Amino acid sequence: MLEFDLILLKPSDVKDEWQEWFDSEHTQYYTRGGRRIELQELRDSIQKGIDTGETFTFGILDKGNQKIIGTAKLGPIDKVHGLADLAVLIGDKKYLGKGLASQLIKLASDFAFEKHSVRKLHSGILEHNVPSIKAYTKAGWIVEAVLSKHYNNNGTLQDWLIISKFNPRFHSNEVSTTHQVSLDSYFSSK
């Protein structure tokens, strides 16, 4: 199993070669509208997170070769409600399909729960982003709701799956199971 670490990124850590990540087919659902991300946008977002202290952008570091192969962005953390978003991106295609994403989502979720006392993590996934739906649910997240034909991704209307994970320190397991959408029923109705 691949060993990796999460390291907090500075804008100067972003390498020009990472543009390939955002130009690759596999990241087409990372932005809701399929918009291409420019590296300057990533650098600005990292800096903004540092300035506000509300968002943390990590690099996924392969411990074997010390290479950063993707990112995990936690935040903004809303301290009033105890909420935060979590988005992961495996940029380097060589690392896809190895089950890395679910391990990574677990690690970043635990970091949010333990170090920042986030009460509930949430995010959203386009319906065609099946690897992402599988990776988050394998990491213990649930689909709470589906917004039908919600986003226009490069000309295709797609459902938006609202996903979340409750911090067990604040919530019983029951809250995570009583109202989740069944993915089997969802996909079989498609």
How many angstroms separate the CA atoms of 161 and 123, rounded? 8
Minimum separation from the CB atom of position 62 to ligand COA (A): 13
How many angstroms separate the CA atoms of 9 and 59, rounded? 6
Minimum separation from the CB atom of position 69 to ligand COA (A): 10
Minimum separation from the CB atom of position 82 to ligand COA (A): 21
| CB closer to ligand COA out of 98 and 171 | 98
How many angstroms separate the CA atoms of 184 and 73, rounded? 29
| CB closer to ligand COA out of 84 and 88 | 88
| CB closer to ligand COA out of 30 and 166 | 30
Please identify the residue of the shown chain whose CB is closest to the bound ligand COA. Answer: 101
Cis peptide before 11 (omega within 30 of 0): no
User: Contact positions toward ligand COA, by CB under 6 A?
Assistant: 26-27, 29-30, 87-90, 96-101, 123, 125, 129-132, 134-135, 138
| CB closer to ligand COA out of 130 and 169 | 130
| CB closer to ligand COA out of 73 and 119 | 73
User: What does DSSP assign to residue 11?
Assistant: G
| CB closer to ligand COA out of 90 and 108 | 90
Minimum separation from the CB atom of position 174 to ligand COA (A): 26
One-letter identity of residue 156: T
Alpha helices per DSSP H over 80-154: 100-115, 130-138
Within 10 Å of residue 119's Cβ, how many Cβ atoms? 18
Residue among 160, 70, 78 at smallest CA distance from 108: 70
Minimum separation from the CB atom of position 75 to ligand COA (A): 15
Within 10 Å of residue 156's Cβ, how many Cβ atoms? 12
How many angstroms separate the CA atoms of 129 and 151, rounded? 13
Minimum separation from the CB atom of position 120 to ligand COA (A): 17
